[in-house]
Chain A
Amino acid sequence: MLRETAFSAAIGLAILVVAPLLFDDIYTLTVLTIYGLLALSLGFIWGFGGILCFGQAAFFGLGAYGFAIASINFADPWIAALVSLIIPALFAAVLGAMLFYGRLSDVYLAVVTLVVTLILFKFMNSTAGNAYKIGDARLGGFNGIPGFDTLTLPWDSSEYLINESLYYFCALILLLAFLGLRWLLSAPFGRILVGIRENELRAELVGYDVRLVKTLAFAIGGMLAGMSGMLFANWAEIVTPALFSLSQSAEIIIWVIVGGAGSLLGPIVGAFVLGALKFFLGQQTLVNNLFVLGSILVVTVLFLPRGIVPTLTPFFKRHRRRSRAAGNGKRGRGSRRRARHAR
């Protein structure tokens, strides 16, 4: 496990370091990395916890707004960053507790999370005027909140994280989140979470409090989405109610479906591929952006129902197994099985 994690970390680090050399638009690359983290947050709770949340944009928006408001009210943007993690995590924990302790089934859970996002969207849109202030921060209604302090280097508060430095910071956060979730999924908590996804009744009958485990997983997903919102606020330097929009929520789900919900890498790949395509299509007027994204979703659901990464993974694993078998010579059936299980 440790060797595999170190291998993943090295590969991930290499890709994220090399990416700016191949992709000269660092501004777009940064937001793709942020989208990757957002997709990863949904990929974790949906792919491994079986919780289909239609409102991941709510936590994304809360993270972004939390950062902007806290940054205006506190002198240190790093404190604001901390606040922007705590708010969506707490919000997700409370919402999750209501959903899971209330025994809402999957469909109702999806509907409730969608409605919560819409409520936040409507509310934020109607906060124009001086009455809507949190401390010194005016919520600004439709126009949102501009002009807040963004993150600086921890050892030099005059040096803001912008362009390359912001990209590398986002890339580091994405890598750490990926490795952290990988570790969590191999730890007892993650194994129990997957067990619950597979059979909730059985997990209950052996003594696990399914409601608590799902609430915790939901809060972790909310925190990661909030973290991506905080990074987005640093990238865009403005937060608006559009962060809570329906299209934002739908897009996250599409990234995860196309990339593959059953893996941690899939959602990141989905976000990068579709996000890049969206930016590319946004530069032309010949084809409608949404039409192309919709078509890709339909094609994926029909021909790659498990998504890109889970479909391709067996090919790589088979290839690796063959190379190992060639290297190791004779190995028994049992040892091969154990090796497969360990992976």
Chain B
Amino acid sequence: MHADAILETRAVTMRFGGVTALENVDFRLENDELRCLIGPNGAGKSTFFKCLTGLLTPSEGSIYLQGEDCTGIHPHAIARRGVGIKTQVPSVMNTLSAHENIWLSARQAQSSREANRTTAEVLERLDLEDIAYDEVATLAHGKRQLVELGIVMAGRPSLVLLDEPAAGLTGEEVERMVAVIHELNRDAALVIVEHDMHFVRSIAKTVTVFHQGRVLTEAPVDAVMADPAVRDVYLGKRA
């Protein structure tokens, strides 16, 4: 394994009873890289994502974070190794304010005073100052997505895992999300699970395509889009 890989998986296999959701997945992400995972429904993207976050323990294989074997460790321990995680459905603390949500994330690794400063910075970077003290449950979906990204940012991660960050966003909100992701990528490597190919094109250089629990191909986004095999399995038509 090269020293500069922030994330690497070796032969990760995940079985649910008789169903094999992932089979021998080898994956490697360099520092500061931004990679999108795409594939049709049931391809194994979300299962792979859950293995990376610690929510699932692979049946076989290993996961390395900055060279350290982190297979099967608890999600909170993964997060403490500098991994920021955003789930598909915004996972926020609903009856708390946006400020409190972001503060709790910042406070995990910082003193209360530092966490206050970090929270103010994140709220400003995401233009959330106006709704900082509103209950998150009362916010629109797009704002809730941003609050969750704020939670991720406040942890100052070196690796960010995002599951469908553009899901349910308006065109304007998607543009904002693209800008935020590029900003995140200045300090951290990212793995993004995404369906929306326009969104993928606007953020990623390299794409990993999953199909039937395996990595079908891994290539620059334009090459992947032009690959007949990918078009066949993912877009549902032959080139």
Contact check, B79 vs A205: say whether CB atoms are below 8 A apart.
yes
Q: Main SS of chain A's interface residues?
A: helix
Partner of A208, one of B76, B103, B132, B134: B76
| Interface hits, A187-218 → B, CB 8 Å | 188, 191-192, 194-195, 198-199, 201-210
B interface size (C-beta, 8 A): 30
Known: A191-B104, A338-B133, A341-B133. A205 touches B93 (CB 8 A): no
- Cβ-based interface call for B197 (8 A): no
Contacts A194-B96, A206-B155, A338-B133 known; A199 to B80 CB distance under 8 Å? no
Instruction: Determine whether B99 belongs to the interface, using a CB cutoff of 8 Å to chain A.
Output: yes
**Which residue in A194, A199, A206, A341 is a CB contact (below 8 Å) of B79?**
A206
CA distance A207 to B75 in the complex (A): 7
Q: A201-B87, A205-B85, A209-B76 are in contact. Are A188 and B96 (CB under 8 A)?
A: no
Q: Restricting to A205-238, which residues have a CB under 8 Å from any CB of B? A: 205-210
Complex Cα spacing A192 to B109, Å: 13
Task: Point out the residues of chain A lying under 8 angstroms from B155, CB to CB.
Answer: 206-207
Bound-complex Cα distance A195 to B134 (A): 16
Question: Closest residue of chain A to B112, judged by CB?
Answer: A188
Contact between chains at A207 and B80 (CB < 8 Å): yes
Closest to B105 in A: A206
CB <8 Å contact, A206 and B87? no
Q: Tell yes or no: B41 within 8 A of A by CB.
A: no
How close is A282's CB to chain B, nearest CB, in angstroms? 39
Q: How large is the interface on A (under 10, 10 to 19, 20 to 34, 35 or more residues)?
A: 20 to 34
- For residue B91, CB closer than 8 A to chain A, the reply is yes
Q: Which residues of B contact A195 (CB under 8 A)?
A: 93, 96, 100-101, 104
Looking at the assembled complex, report how far the CB atom of B81 sits from the nearest CB atom of chain A, in whole angstroms. 9
Tell me, in angstroms, the Cα distance from A272 to B95 when the chains sit together: 29
B151 sits at the interface (CB 8 A) = yes
CB atoms of B94 and A207 under 8 A apart: no
Q: Mark B143-164, 1 if CB is under 8 A from A, else 0.
A: 0000000010001000000000
Min CB distance, A158 to chain B, in Å? 48
Residues on A with C-beta less than 8 A from B95 are: 198
Nearest B residue (CB) for A212: B76
| Given A199-B93, A207-B80: A188 and B107 interface contact (C-beta under 8 Å) | yes
Distance between A343 CB and nearest chain B CB, rounded to angstroms? 11
Chain A CB within 10 A, most for which of B75, B87, B94: B75
Contacts of A338 in B (CB 8 A): 133
Contact digits for B64-105, partner A, Cβ 8 Å, 1 yes 0 no: 000000000011100110000101000111111101110111
In the complex, what distance in Å separates the CA atom of A205 from the CA atom of B160? 11
Q: In the assembled complex, which residues on chain B have CB atoms less than 8 Å from the CB atom of A210?
A: 76
B150 to chain A, nearest CB (A): 11
| Binary interface encoding of chain A residues 306-343 relative to chain B, with 1 for a CB under 8 A from any of its CBs, else 0 | 00000000000000000000000000000001101100
Q: Can you report 23 residue pairs joining A to B where beta carbons are below 8 Å apart?
A: A191-B100, A191-B104, A192-B104, A195-B93, A195-B101, A198-B93, A198-B96, A199-B91, A199-B92, A201-B75, A202-B151, A203-B104, A204-B76, A205-B53, A205-B75, A205-B76, A205-B79, A206-B79, A206-B151, A207-B79, A337-B133, A337-B134, A341-B97
Q: A207-B155, A337-B133, A341-B99 are known contacts; what are 15 more A-B pairs with Cβ within 8 Å?
A: A188-B112, A191-B104, A192-B107, A198-B93, A202-B92, A205-B75, A205-B87, A206-B79, A206-B151, A207-B80, A207-B108, A207-B109, A208-B108, A210-B76, A337-B134
